[in-house]
Structure formats: structure tokens, C-alpha cells
Amino acid sequence: MSGGCCSYSSSQDAKRVCDKLKIPHYTLNFTEEFKKYVIDDFIKCYQECKTPNPCIECNKYIKFDLLYKKAQELECDYIATGHYAKVEYSDKYKQYVLRKSQEERKDQTYFLYSIDKKILPNILFPLENYTDKKQVRNIATENELQVAKKPDSQEVCFIPDNDYASFVEKNITKKIKKGDIVLSSGKVIGKHDGLIHYTVGQRKGLGISYQEPLYVLELDQEKNRLIVGTEKELYKNKLYADELNFLVDFENWGKRVFAKIRYRASLAEVEVEKQENTLEVIFSEPQRAITRGQSVVFYDQDGIVLGGGKIM
């Protein structure tokens, strides 16, 4: 890959750090697995009118599965990553748990809910108590590490230009078709360029004018329609989730459960009912732009991650 955290230059940066610290450096080739579990899933989600989160898939299949297994082969006791999160033993649950980091704004537990709870005792998050990246960069500077001033990686690593729709269009065989833009009432008010170009909550780029601002409410794959409406219509208080992963057994969740539907969303109290392999989730307050394909992640009142799943 040419950019992001998986690039050749990043691998060389890591090697230079290891050389400086006098520790072994290994480069592992997970190209095929990354394509299968992350890139192909990303494309498939857009084809199914879902909005994927490739970082969650990468953590689940690459970092905390394949990489962890390789670490075991190398007789390593732990695997460590730079996520802002905590692993600790909970007397309440009588097990190791994943907990929100000290810095709320940087907490990344949302991306980690899908890992196997059995490996939690063997995970280290060295940044768990840091509240500012400047602190971390200062440590790197003091130790003369060349990565101290390296810019943060923001984009999806396999789409360096951030043009998701073009990437998907180039990598699928199915032709992207234009279709109707309709109000929730069913009234046709325009044409869309293909549903892969849109996501729930989107306002800009609709290419239509109307008497009030309109937002994407739903991608109707069956009829190839883009359903739009007012911002008020974006708010819903219920969702269903599947592809579940429990870091704490569901029977032990307790009465007070909180959830978030995207990384930057605020926690909201919820009622959760388990129905075979799905969860019905009812929010105490309506949530803006609940989106298929994104994840809903659950926490207890102490910031411990209970589990999560994919929004249906």
C-alpha cells in the first residue's frame, strides 16, 4: 500500500525505531488477508447500501487475530498497540475487561469491541493514561526517535485520496445505476448518481434544490431510490444489530447500559433485548442518522465495554 499506516515508509520507520531501541523487527505480509477481510468487506458493504468501518474489521481480523497468533509463535507474552484504551481486571465481572481510556476525546474503544475477549489478558495499551499526543511525541523526541514529528494518519489506509465512491466503482463488476431521489412521502424530486455516493445523514452533494435543507434518510437498494427528508426525520430511537460480540456475557450486563452509534457520538442510555442472534436497542433519546453497516457499541456506567454489533 502506498499510504497510511500500512505503507512501506511506515514499515521502515518502525524498523528504525526498533534499531534504535535494539529490539528485533519483523515484517509480516498479510496482503491477501487484508484484502479479504477489510477491502473486500468495504466494497461489499457499499454495494449493499451500508456504510462500513474498515478500522473495526482490521482490528478484529488483522491486529488482534493474525498478528496476535504470530506473536504467540514468536513466544511473546503480550501484543501492544497505540490505541487509546485500557485493559484491566474487573472484580465486578470477575474477568479482564476493555475500558475507556482516561482521555474521553481520544478514546478508541469503539473500534475495539469486536476483538476476542479471551485475548484481553494478553493485550497492552501503553497510551492508556496519556491525555495529549504531545506528551507521547515529547517522549519520542527525548529518545531521539525520528517518528517524533511524523504526521498523524487520518485517511483510510487503502484509499489515500479519500474518494471512497471512485474506489468502490473501480473495484466492482456491477454497473452503478442512477435512480430517483424521493421525499419520505414518495414524491420524486431529482436523480441520484448511484447509491454508493451517499450515506445516511449526508446533506452536501445531493444536487437538488428545495424549500428547506434535505438530508439522506435511507438508501433503498431494492428500488434504487435515495430517500431524503428534513433533519428532524433523521432522528430515531430504535435499531437492530447483528454480528454480535460480547466482551462481557450479556446476562451480566446489568440494568444501566449505554451505547454509541459512531465513534464521535455521545453515549446514550439504552434498553437492550436479546433476540437469538440479534439485539433490539431502544435509546432514551432519539439518535441522529442511525446508519446500516456502522457499529453500535455498549458500555456500562463505569466505561467498561460490554460488547457491540453491526447496525442492521
Please list the helix, strand and coil fractions of the chain in percent, rounded to the nearest 5, in that order: 30, 25, 40
Average pLDDT over every residue of 265-272: 97
Report the mean per-residue pLDDT for the chain.
94
Which helix or strand (DSSP H or E) is residue 126 part of? Answer: none
Q: Is 78 helix (H, G, I), strand (E, B) or coil?
A: coil
The class that CATH gives domain 234-311 is mainly beta
pLDDT at 1 over 70: no
d(CA 19, CA 91): 40
d(CA 296, CA 35): 24
pLDDT one-digit tens code per residue, 237-247: 999 999 999 99
Taking every pair of Cα atoms in the chain, the longest distance, rounded to a whole number of angstroms, is 67
Domain with residues 4-149, CATH architecture: 3-Layer(aba) Sandwich (3.40)
Phi, psi angle pair for 203, to nearest 5°? -115, -45
Q: Is 201 helix (H, G, I), strand (E, B) or coil?
A: coil
Average pLDDT over every residue of 257-268: 96
Q: Is 20 helix (H, G, I), strand (E, B) or coil?
A: helix
Q: Grade residue 5 by pLDDT with cuts at 50, 70 and 90.
A: low
pLDDT at 79 over 60: yes
Instruction: Work out whether strand 179-183 and strand 225-229 pair parallel, antiparallel, or are unpaired.
Output: parallel
| pLDDT score, position 94 | 98
The class that CATH gives domain 176-229 is mainly beta
Instruction: State the residue for C-alpha cell 473501480.
Output: 170
> At 104, which amino acid appears?
E
Phi, psi angle pair for 135, to nearest 5°? -60, -45
| pLDDT score, position 154 | 66
Q: Is 261 helix (H, G, I), strand (E, B) or coil?
A: coil
Share of the chain above pLDDT 90, in %: 85
Instruction: State the residue for C-alpha cell 468502490.
Output: 168
| pLDDT score, position 6 | 66
d(CA 122, CA 204): 44
Average pLDDT over every residue of 102-131: 93
Q: Are 266 and 260 in contact (CB under 8 A)?
A: yes
Which of the following is catalytic: 45, 49, 55, 157? 157
Q: Grade residue 252 by pLDDT with cuts at 50, 70 and 90.
A: very high
Instruction: State the residue for C-alpha cell 505503507.
Output: 7
How far is CA 161 from each of CA 152, 189, 198, rounded to the nearest angstrom? 15, 31, 17
pLDDT at 3 over 70: no
Judged on CB neighbours under 10 Å (0-12, 13-18, 19+), 57 is buried
Is residue 58 annotated as part of the catalytic site, yes or no? Answer: yes
Adjacency order of strands within the sheet including 179-183: 188-192, 179-183, 225-229, 215-220
Q: Are 283 and 238 in contact (CB under 8 A)?
A: yes
Q: Are 236 and 303 in contact (CB under 8 A)?
A: no
pLDDT one-digit tens code per residue, 154-205: 678 899 888 999 999 999 888 899 999 999 999 999 999 999 999 999 999 9
Phi, psi angle pair for 180, to nearest 5°? -85, 145
Share of the chain above pLDDT 70, in %: 98
How far is CA 218 from each of CA 183, 202, 231, rounded to the nearest angstrom? 10, 10, 13
pLDDT at 225 over 60: yes
Q: Are 187 and 176 in contact (CB under 8 A)?
A: no
pLDDT one-digit tens code per residue, 19-74: 999 999 999 999 999 999 999 999 999 999 999 999 999 999 999 999 999 999 99
Question: Which residue in 242, 234, 309, 298 sits closest to 100, CA to CA?
Answer: 298
- Where exactly are the structural domains of the chain? 4-149, 176-229, 234-311
Helices and strands (DSSP H and E) totals, the chain? 7, 14
Q: Grade residue 133 by pLDDT with cuts at 50, 70 and 90.
A: confident
d(CA 311, CA 291): 7
> At 228, which amino acid appears?
V
Which of the following is catalytic: 5, 55, 58, 76? 58
Query: What predicted TM-score, i.e. pTM, was given to this entire model?
Result: 0.94
